[in-house]
Amino acid sequence: MDKAETAPHGVMSQLACTVHAQDARTFIKGTRLDDPQAWVYRHEAAVTREAAHAPRVLWELEAGDWLLFGYEYINGHHPNLSPGSPDLDALVRTLTAVSQAPWPEALRKKPLHTRWTDFLPEDVPPELQGRSLAHTDMSPLNMLVTPDGALRLLDWALACPAPAWADAALTIPRLISAGHTAEQAEKIAEQVPAYRAAEPTAVTTFARTVYAAWESWERTRPLPHRAALTAAARMWAEHRG
């Protein structure tokens, strides 16, 4: 090994670094085998193997009381989601590809509507109970635009079954936070066929649920980035009426 660089941001793992060895780079994530959250790392790797526009899982290793996963190193920059950005076309292409992948039923994970039980109506609309493979954490820090113009999605730890249009919908508050109006953000999302075909009342319920959940988490589990995202989610929910 020539050197190792700790991941600069956006990673919650006990170990997350890029290893340089023999003119090649590998991104490594891991935790101790006795960590109660070790199953999350196994789940993430299993989902990543099935996901579209994700890095390849190169290897899995248990050694010295540690659970480690080696991922393909992706060279690129985090996308600019502001109006007029050249990265938006790549974002739409990736969201379209991701929306077409079914959830791998061999993997057990609570669906998105169950994750949001406290914020949804008691009778959850069937349109919100989809079984597509959704990333669900559409932060630009989980995206890289490669030199050839492709946008890759990283960190699939929160992936779960969801409507096919969920990731496109969850990108809307990110676009608003980056400077788009709610109407402009929705027009970008509508370039994804799954979102364009979604039942409007289901999308409205989804937008209100996102705002309710994020507003609650901002109060109970405050983090520096949550206020701006909650404000963006409120703008989207208000736009939906």
Residues 105 and 60 in one domain: no
Domain termination residue (choose one: 72, 96, 125): 72
Domain termination residue (choose one: 16, 37, 72): 72
Which CATH number goes with the domain that contains 21? 3.30.200.20
* pLDDT confidence of residue 2: 59
Residues 101 and 207 in one domain: yes
Domain termination residue (choose one: 72, 104, 127): 72
Give the tens place of pLDDT for each residue, 3-47: 556 665 545 667 778 888 777 889 899 999 999 999 999 999 999
Residue 78, in any domain of the structure:
no
Range of the domain at 134: 88-239
Residue 18, in any domain of the structure:
yes
What are the beta bridge partners of residue 102?
132
Residues 22 and 120 in one domain: no
Residues 146 and 194 in one domain: yes
**Residue 205: what residue type?**
T
* pLDDT confidence of residue 24: 81
| Exposed / middle / buried, residue 131 (Cβ in 10 Å: 0-12, 13-18, 19+) | middle
| 20 contacts: CB under 8 Å, gap ≥ 6 | 1, 2, 3, 4, 5
Number of domains forming the structure of the chain? 2
* pLDDT confidence of residue 10: 46
Residues 92 and 29 in one domain: no
Residues 98 and 210 in one domain: yes
CA distances, 107 to each of 8, 39, 111 (Å): 30, 12, 11
Q: What are the DSSP calls for 173-198, one per residue?
A: HHHHHTT--HHHHHHHHTTSHHHHTS
Give the tens place of pLDDT for each residue, 43-71: 999 999 999 999 999 999 998 899 999 99
**Strand intervals (E) in the chain:** 3-6, 15-21, 24-32, 57-63, 66-72, 132-134, 143-145, 151-153, 160-162
Residues 118 and 204 in one domain: yes
* pLDDT confidence of residue 4: 56
Residues 31 and 145 in one domain: no
Residues 11 and 120 in one domain: no
Residues 96 and 68 in one domain: no
Residue 80, in any domain of the structure:
no
Cα separation, 42 vs 37, in Å, equals 9
- Vertex 186, ends 199 and 210: CA angle to 5°? 70
Residues 60 and 152 in one domain: no
In 10 A of CB 49, how many CB atoms? 13
Cα separation, 148 vs 51, in Å, equals 20
- Helices then strands (H, E): number in the chain? 8, 9
* pLDDT confidence of residue 31: 92
Residues 103 and 207 in one domain: yes
Which CATH number goes with the domain that contains 167? 3.90.1200
Q: Which residues of the chain fall below pLDDT 70?
A: 1-13
